[in-house]
Amino acid sequence: MVVVMEINSNTQQIEAVNSKLAQLGYKTQVIHGVKRIVIGAVGDRRSNDLMELQLMPGVEKIVPIMKPYKLVSREAKEDNTVINVGSATIGGENLTIIAGPCAVENRQQFLAAADQVKHAGGQIIRGGAFKPRTSPYSFQGLELEGLEILREASQATGLPVVTEVIDEVSLQMALDYVDMVQVGARNMQNFRLLKAVGQTDKPVLLKRGMSATIEEWLMAAEYIISEGNGRVILCERGIRTFETATRNTLDLSAVPLVKRLSHLPVIVDPSHGTGDRGLVRPMSMAAVAAGADGLILEMHPEPAKALSDGPQSLTPGELEQVMMQLSMLIPAVGRQLPPAYVS
Ligand code: PEP
Ligand code: MN
């Protein structure tokens, strides 16, 4: 349930309700909306509790949430959540572009890519240091060396960086080096990892599992938020269907639907969603038209030489073209250009 506090409720009243909920055995979280504060409370609800809480000073109303996910739901927080990632924000008026190669391959490749992303107007740089590959014989990532390169690229460009973590060990390693951690499609239901990222203060980019329903995806976000970390960004990256002509089927209807069900930002990954660089530009446009808060795009200085995901990686010039087209579309969907692109 959600305890909605009156607009002019004070800190002591909020604290008193929070303590009362804890005393009654609920796990609570104070959620700061634009207009008011609400307290999310998860636990076994008894009717006596409701009466007692309803009478407390500063309480406006109590809203039971019937959905299995509570803290991520729109009922818990009416206004959109905006998440700061270093100098970038996700979920606000700007469209946020995250771009970079699938993997950090070496220092030269990654520093060049980082510069190209900045030049094109991207606000966050991506690059995998731990790669969850289908084959154990494929490139697995540079691990610690990759993290060091990510940090260097961030310092050189002034842009924040995101990298995927695949278990608790890689998470602990990444915390000192990156601005945001990614939980990939393969780990969307790795519940220990979800709890572990939920215990950090880093923003979490949570990709949709390749066979996950929207409810399962939102439940995965609930795992993170229920541990105390409310900074979750959802990423639609395509799901498995009977169709084999594309790598995955990019489920763009998920974007407006998830934004209806949840207050969290939603971004789209048309690179993994299609597996085909020729489809990245049109699907980027479609994602933005559908209301996505941002895009995560794979771009490699030389896609033909990429150690992973070359066929779906844009060239630096193609990334610039995507940005150019987006700049024409963005005003039509009521968003602003990323400030970096304007300058
Ligand atoms: C990636 O971003 O490189 C990646 C592995 O993504 P996904 O988890 O969506 O497959
Ligand atoms: Mn990839």
> Fold for domain 83-333?
TIM Barrel (3.20.20)
* The CATH number of the domain covering residues in 2-63: 3.30.70.1140
Least confident of 42-56, 130-144, 211-225, 328-342: 328-342
Displacement of CA 203 from its chain's centroid (Å): 7
Q: Say yes or no: CB of residue 141 within 6 Å of ligand 1.
A: no
Q: What is the pTM of this model?
A: 0.94
Residues forming CATH 3.20.20.70 domain(s) in the chain: 83-333
CA dihedral 52, 227, 86, 164 (to 10 degrees): -150
Distance CA 294, CA 307 (A): 26
* Top-confidence residue, 343 or 195: 195
Mean pLDDT of 34-48: 85
Ligand with smallest separation from the Cα of 307:
2
The 3-class secondary structure across 260-286, one letter per residue, is HHECCCEEECHHHHHCCHHHHHHHHHH
DSSP annotation of 15 reads: H
* pLDDT for res 51: 87
Strand partners, 31: 38
Task: Check whether 340 has a pLDDT greater than 60.
Answer: no
* pLDDT for res 341: 54
Residues 103 and 139 sit within 8 Å (Cβ to Cβ): yes
Strand partners, 336: 94
Give 197 Cα–ligand 2 centroid separation in angstroms.
21
- pLDDT tens profile 171-181: 999 999 999 99
- pLDDT tens profile 131-159: 999 999 999 999 999 999 999 999 999 99
Residues forming CATH 3.30.70.1140 domain(s) in the chain: 2-63
Nearest to 98 by CA among 76, 61, 124, 128: 124
* pLDDT for res 338: 64
Distance CA 183, CA 161 (A): 14
Give 103 Cα–ligand 1 centroid separation in angstroms.
10
Q: Say yes or no: CB of residue 121 within 6 Å of ligand 1.
A: no
* pLDDT for res 35: 82
